[in-house]
Amino acid sequence: MERYKIIEELSSCHFSSTFLVTEKGDYANKKLILKKIECKDESHANRAYYELLQQKLHQETIEEKVATKSFFIMWDKSICSQEAVQEASVFICIIRNHFEFSLAFVADSFYTIKKPMKEETIIHYLSEIVEVLEPFHNENIAHRSLQLSNIFKYGAENQLLLVDFGISSFLTDRKKFSTLKDGDLVWLAPELRFEQKDKADVCWLKVDVWCLGSILMSFLLTSFMNTLKDMKALVLKTKIDECLLNYFWEKLEQMYSEKLLLLAKRMLSQYTEERPTLTELKECLSKMCQTEEPVMRYLSEEIEPIENVNSFSDLLGYMSKYSVHSSCVIEGLIKLNKLLVKTPDIDPPVDAQSFIWILLCENLDNAELLTEGLHVIEKFTSISNDHLQNIFSESTIDSILTIMECQLKETVFLTVIYSFLVIILTSESATNYFNTKGGMSTLLNRLPKDLTDDTTVSAAAMTLSNLIVNPSNAKAALEYGIIKVLYENLQFHFNYQGAVAELLAVFIPLATNESAIFQLNQCQLLTLFVNIMNTYCSNDAIVMNCCIILRDVLNSISIYDDGILELTETSAVSAMISVLYSNTESSDVIIECCTTLAALCNMSKDCTYMFLSEKLEDQGKSVFGLQLLMNIYDIHKDSSTTVIAAIFSLLHAFSIYDEACKDLISYEYEPMLKYCTTHFNYNERISFYGQQILKRLNKIEDILK
């Protein structure tokens, strides 16, 4: 335990506690989960350790799918049961990677809108879980605590991953099992609820199948309860989940195929011999995927045409009546988009927006429908302030997150989603709700894909830069490895100015973070920033963002840091002189460049001499750095004092060095310095810098005399 720093306690019960931790000495502060489980005695703990070791050594695929990093035994006198207060309690501790986005979140999003999950969606998720579980069952390894909150999505492809597998049983035959944990009562099989749990005839592999049946049932009942929590409460009340299915059977028959419902009944049977094996379950699901029969019984109904395509209520009524037909919904949305363009003064009711959000969440696999629907909502928000305010509602945020979780190849609709997110992030309460619902995690899971896509990169980057203003979001992004993702995409979109500008803006809130600076140096991002400045020296937004980032990094690192050497080697000074030469009229660029150059010269004598010796060709004449600075002063001497202050900050950085002072004297800067110091005496920066420079110049002049 000494190796880990506890951030917070996530959960606790009479036999175990779960903590969010980081490993001490880990510069990136990567979050991990530590699960501490109290054992009966030392021999019990040793047995558990042996089973965990067998799993970890057995095959690499298992290790990847359970996310277990390490495990160890510990003794702790501070956390003892009351019966053994005089003795040290013995614990098995399991360390695994931290993931925020579980399938419980997916189920809850459907419960929130109180609409049924499509049968193909249910089969898809169930098939994926079976696929992940299959290698374990092939080796007689049972999970025993399989539930939605123990199945996580990870990576750009949203692959499924099992957690809490470290405390399951390693079975070389079907009689050996561990008694470490029974799992959440809601997901427990009947034989574990009502029989002695240490009986040798418990078939743990069939327990997993029963748990899968409970997961299937939670997907089937999304339209009958408000939350997943309500479903759990009803399970505890009815005791046997098969009875719960019977209670809703007539309604479920109208929504799902008989094959799926009968399969659910088999999986939730009280008798283990009636439950299918995992192999049989996989075959059943595979056949259901291949069937061409309609999923809903009422899909074969005859479709009537829209009565009046110019009537808002008729179009909504048509989509409501044929909501299970995606082609009808798309047709209605297309005509609705056209109607809103033709009659911009129309005032659609707010519940029309809510209805369309529900339609979108029911069709997450249909990119065309999502695109048309979101464009309708976008038009609503531009027409009416009430519709704009509805974007801040919790139900809308839930819908947005649900849509963001779908991983379609065509993602043009996401540009609208990201524009809504930018609006949402202007409200503190809406932002807090977005974060509470795991919005940051959802966004990070999308980023590798969306930042690579030309259509979504700018919108995704803009949303991210708004989110990471929040320190906790910035920390989460850094732990995710966002610096590397941004670096790769800056290289990928190097020739796309819009994307480069937005991606650079993301770095600004991160640049002063210690962990970010470490990652910046690892990725050699400072070199890339200088290359970007050289390439886009005439683009104000890009140049200014680069300067701000470089300056923030310089203010946060030591002169001995590799970052300074890298900046010197990559001719950052030369790049910024080129920028100044290309932007002599731009006050904002001059302010950022001069301030950043001053930070560089204050930390490195080499940078000062590089500036003084840098030579540019201007209409056949050689122009050195100081001459360029004098030219800029002449252009802006009657404009903003902020520009003069920035120029003076750079001159002050030069004046530290004797050689630079000699150049200042030779270029006859003294009259200008005296004039500005007197004329702008109301400006503290100019007055201070001017006086300090003049003192230094007078001292050098005395030496020269």
Residue 293 tokens, joined: 């029969």
Rounded CA separation 374/268 (Å): 39
Residue 366 tokens, joined: 């249909």
3-class secondary structure, 510: coil
**Segment 693-701 long-range contacts (CB within 8 Å, at least 24 positions apart):** 693/648, 693/651, 693/652, 693/655, 693/664, 694/670, 696/655, 696/656, 696/661, 697/655, 697/661, 697/664, 697/665, 697/669, 697/670, 697/673, 700/658, 700/661, 700/662, 700/665, 701/665
- Residues with Cβ within 8 Å of residue 464, at least 6 apart in sequence: 443, 447, 477, 482, 506
Phi, psi of 551 (to 5 degrees): -65, -40
pLDDT given at position 377: 92
pLDDT given at position 15: 66
Q: Where are the alpha helices (DSSP H) in 468-496?
A: 471-480, 482-492
As to burial, measured by CB atoms within 10 angstroms (0-12 exposed, 13-18 middle, 19+ buried), residue 270 is middle
Rounded CA separation 544/376 (Å): 37
- What's the full length of the chain, in residues? 705
pLDDT mean values, one per 10 residues, the chain (705 residues):
79 74 72 79 67 54 55 64 52 77 75 76 88 82 78 67 58 36 55 54 78 87 69 55 67 85 86 87 83 44 79 89 85 91 83 89 83 91 86 90 77 85 88 88 84 83 87 85 86 87 87 73 73 86 87 65 54 83 86 87 80 71 76 81 86 79 71 76 81 79 60
- Residues with Cβ within 8 Å of residue 612, at least 6 apart in sequence: 624, 625, 626, 654, 659, 660, 663
CATH architecture of residue range(s) 4-97: 2-Layer Sandwich (3.30)
Name beta bridge partners: 455: none
Using CA of residue 113, residue 114, residue 115, residue 116, what is the dihedral sign?
Answer: positive
Place of tokens 């732990």: 479
Place of tokens 């001499």: 609
Residue type at position 57 = L
Q: Is 23 left (phi over 0), alpha (psi -120 to 50) or beta?
A: beta
pLDDT given at position 169: 42
**Where in the chain is CATH 1.10.510.10?**
103-290
Residue 626 CB: number of other CB atoms within 10 A?
Answer: 20
pLDDT given at position 578: 86
Domain boundaries 103-290, CATH class: mainly alpha
Q: Is 71 left (phi over 0), alpha (psi -120 to 50) or beta?
A: beta
3-class secondary structure, 294: coil
Q: Are 208 and 278 in contact (CB under 8 A)?
A: yes
Residue 166 tokens, joined: 């470290």
Name beta bridge partners: 418: none
Q: What is the DSSP string of 122-162?
A: HHHHHHHHHHHHHHHHHTTEE-S---GGGEEEETTTTEEEE
Rounded CA separation 44/41 (Å): 5
Place of tokens 């420079």: 693
Of 130, 435, 122, 383, which is closest to residue 279 (Cα–Cα)? 130
- Model-level pTM? 0.55
pLDDT given at position 183: 40
Q: Are 245 and 264 in contact (CB under 8 A)?
A: yes
Place of tokens 């005859």: 302
As to burial, measured by CB atoms within 10 angstroms (0-12 exposed, 13-18 middle, 19+ buried), residue 202 is buried
Rounded CA separation 156/489 (Å): 14
- Using CA atoms, how far residue 426 sits from 144, 441, 514, 530, 680, in Å, is 45, 19, 27, 32, 39
Q: Is 640 left (phi over 0), alpha (psi -120 to 50) or beta?
A: beta
pLDDT given at position 647: 85
Residue 308 tokens, joined: 């009046």
pLDDT given at position 332: 92
Which DSSP letter does residue 246 get?
A: H
3-class secondary structure, 487: helix
CA of residue 198 relative to chain centroid, distance: 43
**Where in the chain is CATH 3.30.200.20?**
4-97
